[in-house]
Amino acid sequence: MMVCVTAKGPGPKDPAEERFGRSPYFLFRDTEGGEWSAVANEFADAAGGVGPRAAQVLIDRGTRVLITGNVGGNALAVIQAAGIEVYLYRENGTAGDAYQKFTSGQLKKFA
Amino acid sequence: MRLVVASGKGGTGKTLVASNLAAVLASEREVVLVDCDVEEPNAHLFFPSEEKTLPVLTDVPAFDNSRCTHCGNCGDSCQFGAIVVLKDRVLFFPAMCHGCGGCELVCPEGAITMEKRSIGHVAFSTPRSGLVLITGVLHEREVMSPHVIREALAYASGHDLVICDAPPGTACPVVETLEGADACIFVTEPTPFGLHDLILAAGVAEVLGVPSGVVINRSMGDEGSIRNLCRARNLPILMTIPFDRGIAEAANSGQLVTDRMPGMKDQFLKLFTRASALPGVR
Q: How many CB atoms lie within 10 A of CB B71?
A: 14
Task: Give me the domain span that covers residue B232.
Answer: 2-56+120-276
Q: Å from A101 to nearest chain B CA?
A: 29
CATH code of residue B72: 3.30.70.20
Residues B231, B211 within the same domain: yes
Among B118, B138, B166, the domain-final residue is B118
pLDDT digits (tens, 9 = 90+) for A3-30: 999 999 999 999 999 999 999 999 999 9
Residues B220, B112 within the same domain: no
pLDDT at site B222: 85
Helix (H, G, I), strand (E, B) or coil at B210: coil
- E-only strand ranges, A47-91: 63-68, 85-88
Is residue B124 left, alpha or beta, with left meaning phi > 0 and alpha meaning psi from -120 to 50? Answer: beta
Closest chain A residue to B93 measured between Cα atoms?
A74
Question: CA–CA separation, B222 vs B190, rounded Å?
Answer: 8
| Residue of B75, B80, B96 lying closest to A56 (CB–CB) | B75
Residues B145, B242 within the same domain: yes
Domains of chain A: 2-110 (3.30.420.130)
* B199 within some domain: yes
pLDDT digits (tens, 9 = 90+) for B6-18: 999 999 999 999 9
pLDDT at site B282: 81
Is residue A71 left, alpha or beta, with left meaning phi > 0 and alpha meaning psi from -120 to 50? Answer: beta
* B251 within some domain: yes
Residues B94, B217 within the same domain: no
Q: At A48, is the pLDDT very low, low, confident or very high (cuts 50, 70, 90)? A: confident
How large is the average pLDDT for residues B18-32?
97
How large is the average pLDDT for residues B216-220?
96
Residues B171, B268 within the same domain: yes
Residues B100, B240 within the same domain: no
Residues B90, B224 within the same domain: no
Is the Cβ–Cβ distance between A69 and A88 less than 8 Å?
yes
Residues B50, B179 within the same domain: yes
pLDDT at site A46: 84
CATH code of residue B196: 3.40.50.300
pLDDT at site B87: 85
Q: For the whole model, what pTM was predicted?
A: 0.82
Residues B41, B73 within the same domain: no
pLDDT at site A111: 65
Residue A20 in contact with partner chain B when CB distance is under 8 A: no
How large is the average pLDDT for residues A58-74?
93
Residues B139, B81 within the same domain: no
* B281 within some domain: no
* List of residues 6+ apart from B196 with CB closer than 8 A: B8, B9
ipTM greater than 0.90? no
Residues B88, B176 within the same domain: no
Residue B172 in contact with partner chain A when CB distance is under 8 A: no
State the total domains in chain B: 2
Closest chain A residue to B143 measured between Cα atoms?
A48
Partners of residue A74 in chain B, C-beta under 8 Å: 81, 93, 96
Identify any residues that bridge with B239 across adjacent strands, giving them in sequence order. Answer: B215
Residue B93 in contact with partner chain A when CB distance is under 8 A: yes
How large is the average pLDDT for residues B52-60?
97
